[in-house]
Amino acid sequence: MGAVYHAVEFRVIVDPDWPTRVEPVVDGVLLRDLVARFEHDHGYEPAGHYAGLVPDTAHAATLDAYLHGGEGAHHWARGAGTELLSCECGEPGCWPLDARVTVAGDHVTWSEFRQPHRPGWSYREMGPLLFRRAQYDVAAAEAVRQLVSDGA
């Protein structure tokens, strides 16, 4: 059986009453909703309470490298893994969801999901998630373009 590829997008949400955020979407469903459902179904409490990443204008250009698991985006880097979701409060590191982002050949993989404040929680059944690199690259570049044109 062949690999199952997912579609990804990074929606830029601009709201005058809230910081601009980048919401990962997998197969048309917000990643934060997928994770909240997974946590709820596994009896993890508190379940959910995630939002997208909260970039700012000064760091918008590094978002592409960051979403590809790059080291060049130190604004968001907190340790092992890439923060794909932030806390709904908007504070980096408060209640993040991390994953390993690996770029290899023609695909990008999200694996080893973890909630760093709950080391006993296992997300093994949630992934890995595999994306076609060309589609992933376009989605990440579009998010950067929107952030830069909207002035994040």
**Span 21-68, pLDDT tens digits:** 999 999 999 999 999 999 999 999 999 999 998 876 556 668 888 888
Say if residues 114 and 128 touch (Cβ distance below 8 Å).
Answer: no
CB hemisphere CA count around 68 (13 angstroms) = 25
Cα 94 to Cα 15: distance, rounded to the nearest angstrom: 21
According to DSSP, residue 15 is labeled E
Cα 29 to Cα 133: distance, rounded to the nearest angstrom: 19
How many domains does the chain contain in total? 1
* pLDDT digit string, tens, across residues 68-108: 887 544 444 455 678 899 998 877 678 999 999 999 999 99
Question: Comparing C-alpha atoms, which of 136, 25, 125 is closest to residue 84?
Answer: 25
Domain coverage including residue 15: 5-150
